[in-house]
Amino acid sequence: MRQHQVLIIDDDLELLRQMVAAFRSRGFEPFAAVDGQAGLAQFVRTPTDLVVTDIIMPNREGIETIVALKKASPSVKVIAISGGYRVGPADFLHLAGHVGADGVLAKPFKLSALLDAAEALLAAPCPAARAS
């Protein structure tokens, strides 16, 4: 069985490092990017099974990134993460769900919760497979 590949996009370098290490420890093959622009470029080079993306980032924010990812690959699973800023993270995460995120987590979160959410999404049958 091949490793699931995950692209993690976050401008918080320490959290990005922690997420990469956590996914690697669960047997994933992680790729990292520091903003949506770099993340989309990485996704074009190496499409992944799952993308974890922050919402508030420089160069290309997460909502725009999710829309572009789903346009490029409708079947890619996406988890949006956000701590919010002037508004609460729930506002951004609610919007992320409307534009295609398959799961959302408010920061701060436990890495185990992120990994569990990722594994659950990847274990779920895709909608096309259920319709067959």
Distance CA 6, CA 114 (A): 12
Please tell me whether residue 1 adopts helix, strand or coil conformation.
coil
Q: What is the pLDDT of residue 128?
A: 45
CA dihedral for 110, 34, 58, 63, sign (positive or negative): negative
- The reported pLDDT for the residue numbered 85 is 56
Q: How far is CA 76 from the centre of its chain?
A: 10
- Cβ atoms of 81 and 104 closer than 8 Å: yes
pLDDT at position 81: 95
Instruction: Please give the backbone phi and psi of residue 80, each rounded to the nearest 5 degrees, phi first.
Output: -95, 140
| SS3 state at 114 | helix
Domains of the chain in sequence order: 5-131 (3.40.50.2300)
DSSP 105: E
User: Which pair of tokens denotes residue 18?
Assistant: 């922690």
Q: What is the pLDDT of residue 131?
A: 36
Q: Consecutive 10-residue runs of the chain (132 residues): their mean pLDDT?
A: 89 97 97 97 97 94 95 96 64 81 93 97 66 34
